[in-house]
Amino acid sequence: MAKYQKLVDEIRQQIASGVWLPGDKLPSLREQVARSGMSLMTVMHAYQVLESLGTLVSRPQSGYYVAPQAEFLRQPEAHQKVQLAESVDINTFIFDVLQATRDPHILPFGSAFPDPDLFPQRALMRSLNTVAHSMKPEDALNNLPPGNEALRKTLAQRYAMQGIAVAPDEIVITNGAMEALNLSLQAVTEPGDWVVVENPCFYGALQAVERLKLRAVAIASDPQHGLDLDALREALSRWPIKACWLMTNYQNPLGCSLSDEKKAQLVSLLQEKGAFLIEDDVYAELGTDGEHRHPARYWDSQGTVLHCSSFSKNLVAGFRVGWVAAGRHAAKIQRLQLMSTLSTSVPMQLALAHYLTSNSYDRHLRALRRSLAQRKMLARRALTRWLPPEVNINDAQGGYFLWIELPPDLDAMQLYYRALARNISIAPGKMFSSGDQYANYFRFNASWAWGDEQEQAARILGELIRTLLDEQQKRLLSQP
Amino acid sequence: MAKYQKLVDEIRQQIASGVWLPGDKLPSLREQVARSGMSLMTVMHAYQVLESLGTLVSRPQSGYYVAPQAEFLRQPEAHQKVQLAESVDINTFIFDVLQATRDPHILPFGSAFPDPDLFPQRALMRSLNTVAHSMKPEDALNNLPPGNEALRKTLAQRYAMQGIAVAPDEIVITNGAMEALNLSLQAVTEPGDWVVVENPCFYGALQAVERLKLRAVAIASDPQHGLDLDALREALSRWPIKACWLMTNYQNPLGCSLSDEKKAQLVSLLQEKGAFLIEDDVYAELGTDGEHRHPARYWDSQGTVLHCSSFSKNLVAGFRVGWVAAGRHAAKIQRLQLMSTLSTSVPMQLALAHYLTSNSYDRHLRALRRSLAQRKMLARRALTRWLPPEVNINDAQGGYFLWIELPPDLDAMQLYYRALARNISIAPGKMFSSGDQYANYFRFNASWAWGDEQEQAARILGELIRTLLDEQQKRLLSQP
């Protein structure tokens, strides 16, 4: 093959795979010569051939650009929407559900994140701006684990105001609550150990159990009363449980919270048995009934509870800053973090520390809770209007999820795929359980502003559920 | 106990643990009443008692503040400097070494990071500033794994300019190279699998092997020629090796690079045996001999190599943005990331994407390489001047590490502890090997500006080594 042809093929391949998009300026002749070791003549020849093929256009005094028509060269993207397969790997499925919520054409009722329009974007960006003007090079090294000192102090103060004694040194700043939870679980377990999760629960807990090669007992939680403490007591007697990963407030996906009494009992039960509680409290600030609920950590003074939370669900999306109040486990968690991600982004830590000391976070939270309560009410009303009466909508006193129960034997996965084909995403119950108990449930994110499009979506969901009911009816009738 | 006494004790405890520091404003009476449920009288009484004890001072029209003298209440901090223990857990030790380099009174020759003063702080902060002015709320959700599209495209273009075909879709943006490496290893192995690491090697590789419960074969690397390919070939025949974690350019801690020929051989050897290469290439841009070295990925067109790197060692510290060019493993790595940290901070991704398109990264890199070469030369000269002639200083054609060999049987850990007592940190060879072969080596970070203080430190290191030599001599003489 002639040398220039090699370069021609290479560049066409690069355009096909998206390295250069239509309109992009290609490296100059000089740069190509320098990097390829080819002669100027060869490179010029290749560019001219590409121009004659219509792949590139040259602009005098400027250089070579990818032609607008070159789009046809791009390989068709793999079809993005998930397909119903006979056997679905649940992690792949969860991944697909999360990916689908990113498509701007799809209404993200399956998303786990609240509407970012509810967050104080301007104040946050002012803080980021301040960091951009004041950050010093050495700050990078001063904020390695356990993380920014001012931020940890502010968090400790917020704990203090709740009557919880947490020293700044017990707090480790993490890449979101997800890392806090994962590192906490890792810190108190070894592969093969037994742990307790809820059923249903946040899929992250199930994935962590799998990834850390733990053995899990799933304890039933109820939309009204939360975790069944008697079942937990029994599990603690039967298995050598090392840790429980639980959401005590506004549980995902149910929305339920444990009563103060149950939290106190939970802590003393775990202390008695020598098991740890990884407390996932990311919705702590989102109580929409005006009540503040303590975490179980409030009743612990023995280092039983590792309390994990973040700013991602109530202040800012995408900063990826969370924390764990880890007590005596703080040093171990720092070491684990140094081995896995090294540290949390420093400008992000500084920006949050700045926001928290120069704005009223609590005032924002009050406004956020009001908006969420309002939006959830509108969503619930619309769904009540459009979904068949056989559908049961569980609403909680906090957070932004509705937990929706379809009639028995109706498959929420079927509903998921059909809704997605209509550009509506939901989160099927299967994502939140290793068993099949919640196959007829789905989680509905009600944090979005409710308008015509949303109303229309509720109507479509109603239609789709009625169709599923009809099909079920026909199947039953056709049976001998 | 009287109610007010409970609050008095609580606040004194909070001050002792650093929640409120001298000068901090305490929550107002009203806030305390609201959160504690105590009466205004009780809270006022408590604050007045604390004032009479000298713990708080009140400022009219403003509130109560922690008294300057309240410092005495703080518990003495655990002594920060590491102590020589008979048996040292190596991970704890590595953690301590890293922590020691953060103390501003300690000269950080043991640090893994280059001097952040060498980075284009102003340009980076301009980019951060731009993000602060242009970021939209929805950006948070649009940059979930695989990460920001513009950033991935820019990286793909940089690969293209090296003659490496990597599509933007094959790249996953991660929390630094550390996460890229860990997720890559996890993606291609199961617990119990065999992997190859280098000896000596970056301690992160050893920690990952331990954390993922893998079995490792350590292949010797040589400061001049790098990895022993014959030994690797033998290992691949004897064990069912799934993956190798190697640094092909400016290896840490040795500084060596594989020749083009050896890289090509390495890739074809691994392809033949069906093993993957996790290529840690974080120093790729730091060749100080003016030569650009290809990664092994250059010779791979079959998806054998997962190429990991970051901006942390050559552009910015503390942003925590790295990536892996993972080929067909990209989807799996995205899923693993969603389960462990969810995603990389969005403003950091946007800021880097902006920097890379609006600045000449390559011009910065050229200046950086010149500075590093210059500083390393000065450090080497000083060390040659002050260290005893029995010490061997290995210098490489890139990066910023010197790999220093003490006479046989001299313990670099002893040197580490004694140097630390003189406020000098080094990185003992023990950190880079699971065996004892490198007990008489240490890694010296030569990226810092060389001045009187540094010269003085080199002199002290020389003294300490001479003392160790004397002590060794005496022990030998005293033996019967």
- How far apart are the C-alpha atoms of B264 and B266, rounded to whole Å? 5
| Chain B: closest CA distance from residue A22 (Å) | 13
Task: List pLDDT tens digits, range B137-152.
Answer: 888 878 888 999 999 9
- On whether residue B83 sits in a domain, the answer given is no
Mean pLDDT of B166-192: 95
- Residue B247 — pLDDT band, cuts 50, 70, 90? very high
Among A42, A73, A104, where does a domain finish?
Answer: A73
Interchain pair B163, A36: CB under 8 A: yes
Return mean pLDDT, chain B.
90
Whether the predicted pLDDT of B1 surpasses 80: no
Top residue of A245, A294, A320 to mutate, by most chain B CBs within 10 Å, is A320
Give the best residue of B148, B341, B362, B368 to mutate against chain A (max A CB count within 10 A). B341
Q: Judge whether B80 lies within some domain.
A: no
Q: At what angle do helices A361-386 and A452-478 cross, to 10 degrees?
A: 40
3-class secondary structure, B24: coil
> Cβ separation of A19 and B163 shorter than 8 Å?
no
Beta strands in A29-117 (DSSP E): 56-59, 63-66, 107-108
What pLDDT band is residue B123 in, cutting at 50, 70 and 90?
very high
Q: Are A350 and A135 in contact (CB under 8 A)?
A: yes
Closest approach of chain A CAs to the CA of B106, in angstroms?
13
Q: Is the pLDDT of residue B79 over 70?
A: no
Are residues A109 and A252 part of one domain? no
Please indicate, yes or no, whether residues A146 and A222 belong to a single structural domain of this protein: yes
Phi, psi of B101 (to 5 degrees): -70, -10
Regarding predicted confidence, which is higher, B258 or B37? B258
- Are A467 and A445 found together in one domain? yes
Count the residues in chain B: 480
Do residues A126 and A36 share a domain? Answer: no
According to DSSP, the β-strands at B392-395 and B427-428 are unpaired
Residue of chain A with shortest Cα separation from B34: A161
> Which residues of chain B lie closer than 8 angstroms to A167, CB-CB?
17-19
Joined together, the tokens standing for residue B191 give 């617990």
**Which among A116, A178, A339 has CB closest to B204?**
A339
In a domain, B455, yes or no: yes
Residue of A nearest to B312 (CA): A140
Domain match, B139 and B54 both: no
Provide CB contacts within 8 A for B296, sequence distance 6+: B246, B248, B258, B263, B266, B267, B277, B279, B305
- How many Cα atoms occupy the beta-carbon half-sphere of B272 within 13 Å? 10
Strands B322-325 and B392-395 turn out to be unpaired
Contact A95 B334 (CB under 8 A): yes
Of A125, A143, A336, nearest to B318 by CB-CB distance is A143
Q: Which of A64, A338, A448 to mutate to test the interface with B (most CBs of B within 10 A)?
A: A338
* pLDDT band with cut points at 50, 70 and 90 for residue B70: low
Co-location of A456 and A326 in the same domain: no
Last residue of a domain, one of A315, A336, A362: A362
Q: Of A307, A332, A362, which marks where a domain is finished?
A: A362
Residue B112 within a domain: yes
**From B113, B340, B346, residue closest to A318, measured CB to CB:** B346
C-alpha Rg value of chain B to the nearest Å: 27
Residue B84 lies inside a defined structural domain of this protein: no
Identity at A470, one-letter amino acid code: D
Contact yes or no for A13 and B165 at CB 8 A: yes
Residue B230 Cα, gap to closest chain A Cα (Å): 30
Q: Which of A128, A142, A321 sits opposite B128 (nearest CB)?
A: A128
The pLDDT value recorded for residue A88 is 52
Nearest CA in chain B to A191: B213
State whether A199 and A237 are in the same domain.
yes
Q: B215-229, B242-256, B345-359: which range is least confident on average?
A: B215-229
B95 contacts in chain A (CB < 8 Å)? 331, 334-335, 338
Which of A111, A115, A141, A210 would best serve as a mutation to test chain B binding (most B beta carbons within 10 A)?
A141
Share of residues in chain B with pLDDT > 70 (%)? 95
Residue B97 has pLDDT above 90, yes or no: no
- For B395, other C-beta atoms within 10 Å of its C-beta total 19
Whether A163 and B10 lie within 8 Å, measured CB to CB: yes
Give the pLDDT band of residue B85 (cuts 50, 70, 90).
very low
* Residues of A in Cβ contact (< 8 Å) with B163: 10, 35-36
Q: Are strands A322-325 and A424-425 parallel, antiparallel or unpaired?
A: unpaired
In a domain, B351, yes or no: yes
The count of structural domains within chain B is 3
Does one domain contain both A168 and A313? Answer: yes
Plot region of A61 (φ>0 → left; ψ -120 to 50 → alpha; else → beta): left
* Chain B residues in contact with A325 (beta carbon < 8 A): none
As a whole number of angstroms, the distance between CA A111 and CA A98 comes to: 7
CB contact under 8 A, A128 and B19: no
Please report whether residue A166 resides in a domain: yes
Single-letter amino acid, residue B283: Y
Q: Which of A134, A145, A445 is CA-nearest to residue A321?
A: A145
Tell me which of B195 and B78 has the higher pLDDT. Answer: B195
* A100 or B78, higher pLDDT: A100
Do A337 and A216 belong to one domain?
yes
Between chains, do B160 and A129 touch, taking CB under 8 Å as contact? no
Q: Which residues of B touch A207 (CB under 8 A)?
A: 339
Whether residue B282 is found in the same domain as residue B328: yes
**Closest A-chain CA to B104:** A142
Tell me what ipTM this predicted complex has.
0.86
CATH number of the domain enclosing B409: 3.90.1150.10
- How far is C-alpha A163 from the chain's CA centre? 29
Do the Cβ atoms of B21 and A153 come within 8 Å? Answer: yes
| Cβ–Cβ gap B137/A116 under 8 Å | yes
- The whole-number mean pLDDT for each consecutive block of 10 residues of chain A, a chain of 480 residues, reads 86 86 88 86 89 86 81 40 45 82 88 93 94 87 89 96 94 97 96 92 91 89 91 92 96 94 97 97 90 93 96 94 96 92 93 95 95 96 97 91 95 95 95 89 97 97 97 87
A·B CB contacts under 8 A: 254
Are A17 and B341 a contacting pair at CB < 8 A? no
CATH classification at residue B45: 1.10.10.10
Most B-contacting residue of A105, A345, A349 (CB-CB within 10 A), to test interface: A345
Question: Which residues of chain B lie closer than 8 angstroms to A151, CB-CB?
Answer: none
Count of positions (residues) in chain A = 480
DSSP B170: G
Q: What is the pLDDT of residue B317?
A: 87
Residues A180 and A280 in one domain: yes
Locate the chain B residue with the closest alpha carbon to A292.
B35
Look at B137 and A102 and tell me if their CB atoms are within 8 Å.
no
Confidence of residue B324 (pLDDT cuts 50, 70, 90): very high
| Bigger pLDDT: A475 vs B480 | A475
Q: Are strands A441-445 and A401-405 parallel, antiparallel or unpaired?
A: antiparallel
CA distance A387 to A410: 14
Structure confidence at residue B74 (pLDDT): 43
CB contact under 8 A, B132 and A140: no
Of all residues in chain B, the one with the smallest CA distance to A340 is B179
Query: How large is the average pLDDT for residues B113-120?
Result: 94
CATH number of the CATH domain containing B321: 3.40.640.10
For chain A, the straight-line distance linking the first and the last C-alpha, in angstroms and rounded, comes to 70
A150 to A147, A348, B96: CA distances (angstroms): 9, 13, 22
What per-residue confidence (pLDDT) applies to B278? 98
Structure tokens at B375: 């500083």
Tell me if A21 and B153 make a contact (CB, 8 A cut-off): yes
Question: For residue A362, which phi and psi values (nearest 5 degrees)?
Answer: -65, -35
How does residue B88 score in pLDDT terms, banded at 50, 70 and 90?
low
Range of the domain at A34: 3-73
Residue B78 placed within a domain: no
CB contact under 8 A, A320 and B117: no
The verdict on B39 and B136 lying in the same domain is no
Q: Residue B252 has what pLDDT?
A: 95
For the stretch B387-402, pLDDT in tens is 999 999 998 888 999 9
